[in-house]
Structure 1
Amino acid sequence: MVTHVSFHAGGLCPISMILLQTITSLVMAAGKSGSCKILESFESPPSKKPRKDLNREKLHFSIDIPEVEVMEQDIWKDFPEDLFEAVVARLPIASFFRFRSVCRKWNSLLNSQTFSQHCAEIPLGDPWFYAFTHDNVNVGAMFYDPSMRKWHRLAFKPAKMIAQPVASAGGLVCFLDIGHRKFFVCNPLTQSIKELPPRSVKVWSCIAVGMTLNRNSTTGGYNVMWVGGDGECEVYDSVKNSWSQPGSMPLNIKVSPSHNFQSQAVSVDGTLYFMQSDPGGIVSYNMDTGVCKQFIIPAPLHLSDHSLAEYKGRILLVGLLTKNAATCVCIWELQKMTLLWKEVDRMPNIWCLEFYGKHVRMTCSGNKGLLMLHLRSRQMNRLVTYNVMSRDWLTVPACIAPRGRKQLRIACCIAFNPCLTATA
């Protein structure tokens, strides 16, 4: 089934709107043909509706949907190429990949410099979540689009790589292999991937990883930083394609094994924030100045499985609050004046009642105010999204394997901003 195409037409002329109708019809035709699909949506089989409801829908559609106009070839064959790319750049991500299957020329847009410029002018939308399941690595990579509340999967098999996502920035995702020896950076949408050069410091212990966009270089790029369990650290600069040692963290900084990758670093204006343990608190590292700071912040009582999040410069803490047999997911915000955590929201009580008496574990992934929580126990395996601005808690629909097979179980996921033109 073809994903619905939504479009914001601010600033475009009427001829662009007509072009969009043409593109949409071609996208729908390509989606129905089933050829060369890059993304496929997961949807439940349609349920049979009563005849009364079907008649009501026919009446509704007959009123609201205008008659499709016939497109004259003499008019459209000389349509300006730059305006064409401007309209295509505003297609939803899932619809864009179906659009590419129409012809070779449209498929080559990803390599167009002008198309990349049009994409750069469009404000970033809601982040997506790049997830892996416990199933075979070749079919286990999926995307979740929170705005459409749909799962998508790769229609082709990615390269076999036993690694897990540890950080993201600018449409790119950073992976670390399970042996902690190799880093990879890739664009999950286009599957362009790059293996980073070997590190000069050989550390195989648990490490924390953060990623930011390079703000010091006029050519852009990104930085990847890892922090070892004993405070050692290194920074990779994609422009220089090399690792550097900015100096060790303070000796009393420890990365707890329980925080290994489960508490991802967050980035605010070029500064990375990591969680530390013993003593508890936060470590910040400014990528522009190289200044490292340590903040001793007492954690809330009865807290477990906690991780950092960020929204418009605000540092948030997400975790499980467990007392006696009762468990609830809570959200705290760091008060900059007092350096204390203040509770700002918690999961609805009716959901928390389902956790009563159960040994619940949680992992959290988020980006720019949208979080995905993975809650699991012996009796439960649930995914929930939380919107920091609207304070909405939503259950993520089940991800069903293709052709109506069993429900897939999520092993890990990471939030990223989908970008067609991001290159590693």
Structure 2
Amino acid sequence: MASRRNLKRKSPEKYEEDGAFVFPLDELNQDLLERVLSWLPTSTFLSLSSVCKRWKSAATSPVFHSACSQIPTREPWFYMVDSSQSSHFNNQQQFVYDSAEMKWKFLNYPSNFLEEKQQNDSNLSNFLPVAASSGLLCFHNEENGEFLISNPVTSSFRKLPSLDYSNNTLCAIGMYSTQESYKVYLIFGETPNLSFRVYNSTTNNWEDSQVLSRKSSQSFSPDDDDDDEEDSQMLYFLSKCGNVVATEIQKTPCKQYSSITTTKDGQEILCFLNSSGKVVVCNFTEKHFFEYPRLLPLHNEYSIDLVECGGEIFVVVLSEFLETASLRIWKFDEKEWTWNQVLAMPAAISHEFYGKKLDINCSGSGEQLFVCISNSFDESCRYFLCNLAGNEWTELPACCRKFSCAFSFQPRIEASV
């Protein structure tokens, strides 16, 4: 008699040529399939969502969005702003650099988004990107003071409630987001008279204006007073426009209000560069601010920018000294109250920038630092990506368009505006 084992029907074996076992995704139930898809790089899922209706339906599934939100981090995309300073928000295509696939790519707006945009608001073309956090970008219309939040991956967007600040001087815009909510910070005035307002997506309202007091600390250097007296002297900086030496830092429109936001010991922190080249640190939790001492001496000519990487604040400086150029990354030690150089671009690369009056605009995410180096004379641009952990610098391939700056964000499908 044949054994029971021999009478049992065998399932066809599923093996690749190399012997690896293969389990078809079609045999997964929908919930489990969506959890598997959530681990795909965002750009991969966007292309694979056209494979079949089942995969496409995952894009709007609450289970899929919930699974995506459980992924700790995504490799950053760098949202590019062209050298003419025109906004990409009004175009049919957005240009990004995908650090996961290490290539430039377009993000096409879906047709229904374009129709909605044309029907509901003809003034979206006036919005310029000014800040980014997690999976969201913040746009600002300087003509009427309006703000708009967008998820560049899904093309969803939302206008914030109107805010009249015509009687105040706006000097910095910042953004900080979590999985559940986001905030937009506005800094008004000039040091030492600073105030701020906060938009909270949880309440969908702008909070009342609050004053930032100047902090006095024993950790401050006794030379700070002397430094304040020097501020009244003529200052020389390489313009943020990159083509003139100005008495104060000049910034391109998209970087005019740029700042860095982070949290430290549970406190909400925003840093920005003031017109004299000092880093101003605003603590919204304790409602005070202070300034770091100047990084380079007076009468030095340089280009400077702030970046945030892994929750840490860094300053990137392109300067010239002894007939060579250097691009260095600095971090401030609040205990010692001094600047420390942490990394530098290889001299073989940075020396090429000597005497060219270049401008740098930087963005960071995780352990990656993105640097745009532009020359306004011939509109040439070069782009570098630095891995901070290993001080590894990679020059990115040239692109069909010229970009002067970038904003980093994580491509998160589940990020809600």
TM-score band (shorter)?
0.7 to 0.9
Q: Contact 2:320 / 2:354 at 8 angstroms: preserved in 1? A: no
Q: Contact 2:197 / 2:206 at 8 angstroms: preserved in 1? A: yes
> For 1:9-408, what aligned pairs fall within 5 Å after superposition?
66=18, 79-133=28-82, 134=84, 138-139=91-92, 141-156=94-109, 159=117, 160-179=124-143, 181-202=145-166, 205-213=169-177, 220-230=180-190, 231-250=194-213, 258=250, 261=255, 263-269=258-264, 270-278=268-276, 280-286=278-284, 289-301=285-297, 302=300, 304-323=302-321, 325-377=323-375, 378=377, 380-399=380-399, 407-408=400-401
Q: Contact 1:305 / 1:319 at 8 angstroms: preserved in 2? A: yes
Q: Deviations over 1:40-82 (max 9, x none)?
A: xxxxxxxxxxxxxxxxxxxxxxxx974999988xxx7663222
Give the residue type in structure 1 aligned to 2:262.
S
TM-score, structure 2 length as denominator? 0.74
Q: Contact 1:311 / 1:369 at 8 angstroms: preserved in 2? A: yes
In 2 relative to 1, CA 92–65 (structure 1 residues): closer, same or farther, beyond 3 Å?
Answer: farther
Q: Give the match's secondary structure for 2:137.
A: strand
Counterpart residue number, 1:412: 405
Q: Deviations over 1:210-257 (max 9, x none)?
A: 11126xxxx921110011243232110001111113413348999x76
Q: How far has the Cα of 1:89 moved from its partner?
A: 0.7
Distance in 2, matches of 1:123 and 1:170, equals 11
Q: Contact 1:181 / 1:204 at 8 angstroms: preserved in 2? A: no
Distance in 1, matches of 2:159 and 2:186, equals 16
Distance in 1, matches of 2:167 and 2:381, equals 34
Question: Which structure 1 segments of 5+ residues have no match?
Answer: 1-17, 22-63, 400-406
Give the residue type in structure 2 aligned to 1:321.
S
Distance in 2, matches of 1:334 and 1:393, equals 22
Q: Deviations over 1:83-110 (max 9, x none)?
A: 1111111111111011221234422323
Give the residue type in structure 2 aligned to 1:345.
L
Q: Contact 1:266 / 1:274 at 8 angstroms: preserved in 2? A: no
Counterpart residue number, 1:24: none
Q: Deviations over 1:150-170 (max 9, x none)?
A: 111023476552322211123
Q: Contact 2:214 / 2:289 at 8 angstroms: preserved in 1? A: no
Question: Which structure 2 segments of 5+ residues have no match?
Answer: 1-13, 118-123, 216-227, 232-247
Q: Contact 1:184 / 1:196 at 8 angstroms: preserved in 2? A: yes
Q: Contact 2:249 / 2:276 at 8 angstroms: preserved in 1? A: no
In 2 relative to 1, CA 140–162 (structure 1 residues): closer, same or farther, beyond 3 Å?
Answer: farther
Distance in 2, matches of 1:367 and 1:303, equals 28
Q: How far has the Cα of 1:290 moved from its partner?
A: 4.7
Distance in 2, matches of 1:188 and 1:320, equals 31
Q: Give the match's secondary structure for 1:115.
A: helix
Q: How far has the Cα of 1:395 moved from its partner?
A: 0.8
What is the aligned-residue identity percentage? 26
Q: Give the match's secondary structure for 1:248.
A: strand
Q: How far has the Cα of 1:388 moved from its partner?
A: 1.6
100-109 or 271-280: bigger deviation: 271-280
Distance in 1, matches of 2:57 and 2:411, equals 19
Q: Contact 1:116 / 1:421 at 8 angstroms: preserved in 2? A: yes
Q: Contact 2:79 / 2:96 at 8 angstroms: preserved in 1? A: yes
Which protein has the larger Cα radius of gyration, Structure 1 or Structure 2? Answer: 2
Counterpart residue number, 1:6: none
Deviation above 4 Å: which 4+ runs of structure 1?
64-72, 134-137, 157-160, 203-206, 250-254
Distance in 2, matches of 1:195 and 1:290, equals 29
Q: Contact 2:214 / 2:288 at 8 angstroms: preserved in 1? A: no
Distance in 1, matches of 2:404 and 2:187, equals 24
Question: What is the RMSD of the two structures over their aligned residues, measured on CA atoms?
Answer: 3.2
Q: Contact 1:200 / 1:243 at 8 angstroms: preserved in 2? A: no
Give the residue type in structure 1 aligned to 2:333.
Q
Q: Deviations over 1:171-207 (max 9, x none)?
A: 1111112426111101010000001011143357453
Distance in 1, matches of 2:175 and 2:48, equals 31
TM-score, structure 1 length as denominator? 0.72
Q: Give the match's secondary structure for 2:35.
A: helix
Distance in 2, matches of 1:304 and 1:168, equals 26
In 2 relative to 1, CA 113–140 (structure 1 residues): closer, same or farther, beyond 3 Å?
Answer: closer
Q: Contact 2:50 / 2:56 at 8 angstroms: preserved in 1? A: yes
Distance in 2, matches of 1:70 and 1:371, equals 38
Q: Give the match's secondary structure for 2:296.
A: coil
Q: Give the match's secondary structure for 1:86.
A: helix
In 2 relative to 1, CA 156–171 (structure 1 residues): closer, same or farther, beyond 3 Å?
Answer: closer
Give the residue type in structure 1 aligned to 2:403.
I
Distance in 1, matches of 2:57 and 2:337, equals 51
Give the residue type in structure 1 aligned to 2:385.
T
